[in-house]
Amino acid sequence: MAKKIQPPFKPSVESVLDVANFDAEFTNEQVIDSVVEPSHLSETVQDQFKGFTYNPTSEHLGDGGQSYQS
């Protein structure tokens, strides 16, 4: 994807985990796990994802890209 348009504002951050630009109203909220088991997707929709795997570890926390298409 060509990123030809520069954003009008680009916040400075210390790292990919820096939340200093988010209001404390949101960063102080209780963490809620949003993983839903079992899947409520139809088998037809599930078939569109055959061959893909998912590792819920964040790429920014060092899973080394374990989420990939096999």
Q: What separation, in Å, do the N-terminal and C-terminal C-alpha atoms of the chain show?
A: 23
3 state SS of 33? coil
User: Across the chain, what does the average pLDDT equal?
Assistant: 78
Is the pLDDT reported for residue 65 higher than 60?
A: no
What's the predicted TM-score (pTM) here? 0.37
Q: What are phi and psi of 46, to 5 degrees?
A: -60, -35
Report d(CA 51, CA 68) in Å as an integer: 9
Max CA distance (Å), the chain = 44
Tell me: the pLDDT tens digits for 22-36? Answer: 999 999 998 887 776
Report d(CA 37, CA 27) in Å as an integer: 26
